[in-house]
């Protein structure tokens, strides 16, 4: 076993027995009708991937799924703790379930995910929402069937927060939401402790999955027709650090990329401190690897980056970005930014603006700093008023809008390979994405959904492209 002693375990047979028992209980309760579950997922793709495991376990317990909570027998919210706004939305929506519980007292209402790993939140749920019967955190997924069984048979409230930091579980049944676009977690947790961030506290230490298991899962997805596979981790660049045999992320990427098939391979998130030239070279030489790099820089000011505990500076960030631009034709760069970190001045903020102008990102995920209980930044002096931060934020959005619009306008006239993803809701219009993850809207038959098409870009509207298919492709491109 490697230095950090991560043990890999299989979901135990006992849990599959609980799934069977749940199916039997529900069959009696529903008098032979199929039980229905409603699952709502907040937050990032890690949570989406966790919900797909929960849905897999529920499907094995005989459940069908509904898009509305009204007629469900089981309601679950998988929550996110990353910003206050995310938590407020959950509290608001949980409050609204009270009426459903009153109308259908048999219903089981459950909350799970990152918020539930925080003691003060679990306590608040316990006190303020007595109709919530089951609460469990991100560390308890591997015995969800047992917890659910206990709440169904005992009628008592079940609350569990775990701390299985050194364990990783395999062998979950997975029920993926999409049929051609899918998530593939390669690691869990985070060791970086950026000073503003709650994730390491609610997701635990970094744990990489075994390479062979990932390769098998990727091959199975490709075989089953997945066209767009995103490898997931809070910092994929540190993949392999807890594994024997010295495998790193670039190697893993090359091995997946060597699987034959018609698909794109994406990954997120890359931490700039660990983004290697080897990774960029792998992207440049790859067959299936998309030309998209999501590389969050958070702030353009070295002083703020240091306070954030990010372990890189502006110079190092630009070095890796410029290397990537040089090596990867048509590279699309995206990033995350925090505005108004404690102690950030307008001068610091201007450096963020100058960095985005210098790099030319396709799109940005921008956030106003939100203090998180238990993180070091929540204890720092934060003298800038919210109204001022809000002005900076608007300024940032405006600058980025111009950059994105120009970037998109430059693509007019080009032909792009696009994965057609679904309807936009306007007339017969469909939308898809380029390899660089840029949205393209176009008129095309519904039969093209889930296929790659060569699309000529005809127009650009801010960060969205309009295009048309010259000849519909029925095979691979
Ligand atoms: N692991 C990823 C991101 C995880 S959270 C990474 O390191 O890039 C996604 C984004 O939320 C972060 O990149 C950051 O920009 C933002 N974020 C995290 N904590 C935040 C906070 N307390 N306030 C505002 N934004 C935050
Ligand atoms: Fe949070 Fe930093 Fe870890 Fe990303 S790398 S999840 S921002 S602590
Ligand atoms: Fe939110 Fe948890 Fe993801 S806090 S951003 S759902 S890891």
Best residue among 44, 50, 374 to mutate for probing ligand 3, ranked by most atoms within 8 Å of CB: 44
Longest dimension (CA), the chain: 67
Neighbour tally for 426: CB within 10 Å = 9
In CATH terms, is domain 175-409 a member of 3.80.30.20?
yes
**pLDDT tops 50 at residue 3:** no
What would the pLDDT profile of 109-141 be if each residue is shown by its tens digit? Answer: 999 999 999 999 999 999 999 999 999 999 999
- Average pLDDT of the chain to the nearest whole number: 94
Q: Which ligand is nearest to the CA of 238?
A: 2
Q: What is the pLDDT of residue 455?
A: 97
**pLDDT tops 50 at residue 39:** yes
| 36 Cβ contact list (under 8 Å, min separation 6) | 63, 64, 65, 66, 71, 72, 73, 74
- Which residue's CA is the closest to the ligand 2 atom numbered 2? 194
Compute the distance between CA of residue 455 and CA of residue 468 in angstroms, rounded to an integer: 5
Fold that domain 3-167 belongs to in CATH: Rossmann fold (3.40.50)
Does residue 203's CB lie within 6 angstroms of at least one atom of ligand 3? yes
Mean pLDDT of 41-50: 97
- Pairing label, strands 187-188, 207-208: antiparallel
Q: Is 155 left (phi over 0), alpha (psi -120 to 50) or beta?
A: left
Q: What is the pLDDT of residue 164?
A: 67
Which residues are near ligand 1 (CB < 6 Å)?
82-83, 196-197, 199, 234-235, 269, 271, 296, 298, 336, 338, 367, 369-370, 372
| 337 Cβ contact list (under 8 Å, min separation 6) | 296, 297, 298, 299, 352, 356, 364, 365, 366, 367, 396
**pLDDT tops 80 at residue 196:** yes
* Span from the CA of 80 to the centroid of ligand 3 (angstroms): 5
At residue 1 the predicted structure's pLDDT band, cuts being 50, 70 and 90, is very low
CATH code that applies to domain 415-469:
2.40.50.140
Does residue 80's CB lie within 6 angstroms of at least one atom of ligand 3? yes
For the chain, the domains span: 3-167, 175-409, 415-469
- Which residue's CA is the closest to the ligand 2 atom numbered 5? 192
Q: Is 107 helix (H, G, I), strand (E, B) or coil?
A: coil
Q: What is the pLDDT of residue 5?
A: 67
DSSP tag of 234? T
User: Comparing 3-167 with 415-469, is the CATH topology the same?
Assistant: no
Does residue 200's CB lie within 6 angstroms of at least one atom of ligand 2? yes
| 432 Cβ contact list (under 8 Å, min separation 6) | 418, 419, 420, 421, 439, 440, 442, 453, 455
Q: Which of 29-33, 193-197, 354-358 is the least confident region?
A: 29-33
Tokens (6 digits) for 435 = 């390899």
Q: Which ligand is nearest to the CA of 365?
A: 1
Q: What is the pLDDT of residue 165?
A: 67
């Amino acid at each position: 076993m490697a230095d950090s002693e991560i043990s890999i375990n299989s979901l135990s047979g006992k849990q599959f027995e609980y799934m069977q028992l749940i199916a039997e209980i529900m069959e009696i309760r529903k008098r032979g009708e199929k039980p229905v579950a409603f699952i709502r997922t907040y937050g990032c793709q890690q949570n989406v991937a966790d919900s797909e495991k929960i849905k897999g376990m529920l499907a094995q317990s005989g459940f069908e799924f509904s898009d509305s909570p009204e007629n469900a027998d089981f309601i679950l919210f998988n929550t996110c703790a990353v910003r206050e706004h995310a938590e407020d939305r959950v509290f608001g929506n949980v409050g609204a379930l009270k009426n459903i519980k009153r109308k259908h007292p048999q219903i089981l209402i459950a909350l799970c995910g990152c918020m539930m790993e925080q003691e003060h939140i679990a306590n608040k749920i316990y006190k303020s929402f007595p109709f919530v019967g089951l609460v469990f955190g991100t560390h308890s997924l591997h015995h969800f069937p047992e917890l659910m069984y206990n709440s169904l048979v005992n009628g008592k409230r079940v609350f569990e927060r775990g701390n299985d930091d050194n364990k990783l579980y395999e062998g979950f049944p997975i029920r993926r939401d999409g049929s051609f676009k899918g998530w593939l977690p390669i690691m869990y947790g985070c060791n970086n402790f950026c000073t503003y961030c709650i994730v390491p506290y609610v997701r635990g230490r970094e744990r990489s999955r075994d390479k062979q298991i990932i390769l098998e899962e990727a091959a199975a997805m490709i075989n089953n027709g997945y066209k767009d596979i995103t490898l997931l981790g809070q910092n994929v660049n540190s993949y392999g650090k807890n594994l024997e045999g010295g495998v790193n992320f670039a190697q893993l990427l090359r091995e997946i990329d060597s699987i034959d098939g018609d698909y794109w391979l994406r990954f997120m998130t890359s931490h700039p401190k660990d983004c290697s030239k080897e990774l960029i070279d792998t992207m440049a030489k790859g067959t299936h690897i998309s030309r998209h790099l999501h590389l969050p820089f958070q702030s353009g000011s070295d002083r703020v980056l240091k306070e954030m505990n990010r372990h890189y500076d502006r110079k190092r960030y630009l070095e890796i970005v410029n290397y990537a631009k040089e090596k990867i034709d048509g590279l699309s760069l995206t990033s995350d930014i925090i505005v108004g970190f404690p102690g950030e001045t307008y001068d610091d903020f201007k450096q963020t603006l100058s960095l985005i102008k210098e790099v030319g990102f396709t799109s940005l995920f921008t956030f106003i700093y939100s203090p998180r209980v238990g993180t070091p930044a929540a204890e720092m002096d934060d003298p800038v008023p919210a109204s001022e931060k809000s002005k900076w934020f608007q300024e940032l959005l405006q600058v980025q809008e111009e950059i994105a619009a120009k970037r998109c306008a430059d693509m007019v006239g080009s032909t792009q390979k696009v994965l057609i993803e679904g309807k936009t809701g306007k007339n017969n219009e469909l939308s898809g994405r380029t390899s660089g993850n840029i949205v393209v809207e176009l008129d095309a038959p519904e039969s093209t959904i889930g296929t790659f098409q060569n699309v000529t870009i005809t127009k650009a509207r801010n960060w969205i492209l309009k295009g048309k298919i010259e000849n519909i492709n029925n095979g691979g491109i």
